[in-house]
């Protein structure tokens, strides 16, 4: 196993809850949290999965909260949770050896819309001086570093909906290469602006089941018709196992292998034969030193789009044979949080291994008989899981696969 980084802390802010524990409880219940969104009133699609109950003023203080955009509010809160979970003390760590690598899929449309409105109405003096530093994607990682005093490598990864997973892959490489001792890695996104929703709607990527929000996202179901947009953040603390051992940290799991590939095929449509997905899966398994028979669970990308789910399912059959390991698709419950999704699902994969319990997929009634998978539904399933795979794919043909093994 050439790549090995210990996961010693997890922080999550999702539509399922404001903590890791709350999110885990929600996904284990197996019911979607999607609902009609008042902020989208009048649009053809007005359903989302929002993070409810998060008070940025209370969590970060009013002054700091005003300086930050929503995606950074979520990223910073998740990072602070992860650091506490890892029992790290920022004031005592070797700051130049602590990296921050976060995935963000895009800029903040809500901020830009407000500022563009002032400009278009002939009032440039009303444009906030915080407009740019508040909204550019790198500020999530930068603000985490400022708040926690992490002075090591710091940057943002953008690979669309694979961004959060790609950030974890990059951070793991940095940890194992010795570029840093500790990495805070994951993703954050709040892409629920009216422009973002309209853009996805015009592409026919969103579910049209606006009359039944909780039934809208249905990965791998024959009647799937698109995803439900969401927001959220997840940050994992990665360390070399020896470093974690020296400080007496609990190791939740090991990131044993990873791979990033590109279809090089189309801006938004995956390669119909899934060659990039398959290559990423095979490479990640090889990197981890494992065989496909060693994998006990797959956390699927599973967006609920007609083409995407088909490509992923067929790739799983080619890798794992006629009976792939049990699959779950968390977007059926939490929605699709774009650049944050891969990090959230990586965290859920770690928790699945820890609890030896696979959360169910919501709204799956009938699979396509051409590529049926063993998808967990209705209730969590106990399983012996020594190694698990988390898949993340994105526009541009980006594919990232993470392999987690038990500590």
Give the DSSP H or E segment for 85: helix 70-85
Classify 276 as helix, strand or coil.
helix
Measure the CA dihedral 204/191/335/386, to 10°.
120
Q: Is the dihedral of CA 195, 196, 201, 203 positive or negative?
A: positive
Active site residues: 161, 301, 336
Q: Which of 37, 41, 34, 28 has its CA nearest to residue 15?
A: 34
CB 360 within 8 A of CB 247: no
Token pair for 296: 């006990």
| Listed residue (32, 337, 47) closest to 163, CA to CA | 337
Alpha-carbon distance of 337 to 399, in angstroms, equals 16
Nearest to 183 by CA among 262, 248, 103, 105: 103
SS3 call for 248: coil
d(CA 177, CA 172): 8
Give the number of residues written for the chain.
407
Tokens coding 179: 């570029």
Relative to beta strand 387-394, strand 297-299 is parallel
Q: Which residues contact 370 (CB under 8 A, 6 or more apart)?
A: none
Largest CA distance in the chain: 63
SS3 134: helix
Q: Integer distance in angstroms from the first to the last C-alpha of the chain?
A: 13
Phi/psi for 27 (5° steps) reads -65, -30
Dihedral angle, C-alpha 253, 385, 328, 32, nearest 10 °? -70
Q: E strands within 3-116?
A: 5-13, 35-36, 47-48, 98-103
């Amino acid at each position: 196993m050439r790549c090995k980084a210990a996961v010693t802390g997890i922080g999550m802010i999702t539509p399922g809850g404001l903590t890791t524990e709350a999110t885990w409880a929600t996904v284990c219940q197996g019911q979607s949290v999607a609902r009609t969104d008042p902020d989208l009133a009048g649009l053809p699609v007005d359903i989302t999965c929002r993070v409810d109950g998060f008070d940025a003023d209370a969590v970060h203080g009013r002054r700091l909260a005003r300086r930050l955009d929503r995606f950074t509010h979520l990223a910073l809160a998740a990072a602070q949770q992860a650091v506490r979970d890892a029992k790290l003390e920022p004031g005592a760590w070797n700051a130049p050896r602590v990296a921050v690598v976060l995935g963000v899929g895009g800029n903040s449309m809500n901020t830009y819309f407000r500022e563009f409105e002032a400009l278009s109405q002939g009032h440039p003096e009303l444009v906030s001086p915080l407009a740019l530093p508040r909204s550019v994607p790198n500020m999530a990682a930068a603000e985490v570093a400022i708040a926690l005093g992490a002075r090591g490598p710091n940057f943002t990864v953008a690979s669309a909906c694979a961004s959060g997973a790609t950030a974890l892959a990059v951070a793991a490489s940095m940890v194992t290469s010795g570029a840093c001792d500790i990495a805070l890695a994951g993703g954050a996104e709040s892409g629920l602006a009216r422009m973002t929703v309209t853009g996805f709607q015009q592409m026919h990527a969103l579910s049209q089941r606006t009359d039944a929000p909780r039934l809208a996202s249905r990965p791998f179901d024959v009647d799937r018709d698109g995803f439900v947009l969401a927001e959220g953040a997840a940050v994992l603390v990665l360390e070399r196992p020896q470093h974690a051992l020296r400080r007496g940290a609990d190791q939740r799991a090991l990131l044993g292998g990873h791979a990033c590939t590109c279809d090089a095929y189309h801006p938004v449509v995956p390669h119909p034969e899934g060659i990039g997905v398959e290559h990423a899966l095979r490479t990640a398994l090889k990197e981890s030193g494992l065989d496909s028979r060693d994998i006990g669970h797959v956390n699927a990308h599973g967006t609920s789009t007609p083409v995407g789910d088909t490509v992923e399912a067929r790739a799983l059959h080619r890798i794992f044979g006629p009976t792939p390991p049990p699959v779950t698709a968390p977007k059926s419950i939490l929605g699709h949080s774009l650049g944050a999704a891969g990090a959230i699902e990586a965290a859920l994969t770690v928790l699945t291994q820890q609890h030896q319990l696979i959360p169910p997929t919501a709204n799956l009634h009938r699979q396509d008989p051409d590529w049926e998978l063993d998808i967990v539904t209705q209730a969590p399933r106990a399983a012996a899981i020594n190694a698990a795979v988390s898949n993340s794919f994105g526009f541009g043909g980006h594919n990232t696969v993470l392999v987690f093994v038990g500590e």
